[in-house]
Amino acid sequence: MHGARFLFRATLFFIGASLFGFGCASAPKFPELSDRELMSAACPAMGSKKVTGSIWTKIESKEMSGQFPATVLAEYPTKLAVEVTNLIGSPQAWLTIENGKTELKFTAENEKEYGRAPRARDVLGGLPLELAPRLFAGGVPCPSDDKNQDIRVKKTDDGLDVVALDLRTHIATHYVYDFERVAGKPWVREVQWEKLARGGRPGAKSNLVTLVREDPADSDLAPKRWSASSSRGQIHVRWKDRTVTSVGESPRQ
Give the per-residue pLDDT at 251: 52
Categorize the per-residue pLDDT at 100 as very low, low, confident or very high, splitting at 50, 70 and 90: confident
Whether 73 and 95 have beta carbons less than 8 Å apart is answered as no
CA–CA separation, 228 vs 44, rounded Å? 21
Categorize the per-residue pLDDT at 8 as very low, low, confident or very high, splitting at 50, 70 and 90: very low
User: What torsion do the CA atoms of 83, 85, 90, 91 make, to the nearest 10 degrees?
Assistant: -30
Parse the chain into domains and list their residue ranges.
37-246
| Count of alpha carbons within 13 angstroms of residue 201, beta-carbon side | 3
Closest of 231, 228, 240 to residue 59, by C-alpha: 228
Q: In terms of C-beta density within 10 A (0-12 exposed, 13-18 middle, 19 or more buried), how is residue 132 classed?
A: buried
Residue 232 has pLDDT above 60, yes or no: yes
Q: What DSSP line would sit under 223-236, residue for residue? A: EEEEEEEETTEEEE
Closest of 172, 138, 109 to residue 42, by C-alpha: 138
Closest of 168, 136, 175 to residue 153, by C-alpha: 175
Which neighbouring-strand residues pair with 53? 72, 242
Provide the 8-state DSSP code for 252: B
Closest of 77, 59, 54, 66 to residue 227, by C-alpha: 59
Q: What is the CATH number of domain 37-246?
A: 2.50.20
CA–CA separation, 233 vs 128, rounded Å? 11
Express each pLDDT in 118-166 by its tens digit. Answer: 677 777 888 999 999 999 999 999 998 888 999 999 999 989 999 999 9
Q: What is the mean pLDDT of residues 49-66?
A: 91
Q: In terms of C-beta density within 10 A (0-12 exposed, 13-18 middle, 19 or more buried), how is residue 92 classed?
A: middle
Express each pLDDT in 200-229 by its tens digit. Answer: 565 555 679 999 999 999 888 999 999 999
pTM: 0.82
Residue 88 has pLDDT above 80, yes or no: yes
CA–CA separation, 35 vs 45, rounded Å? 17
CA–CA separation, 66 vs 71, rounded Å? 16
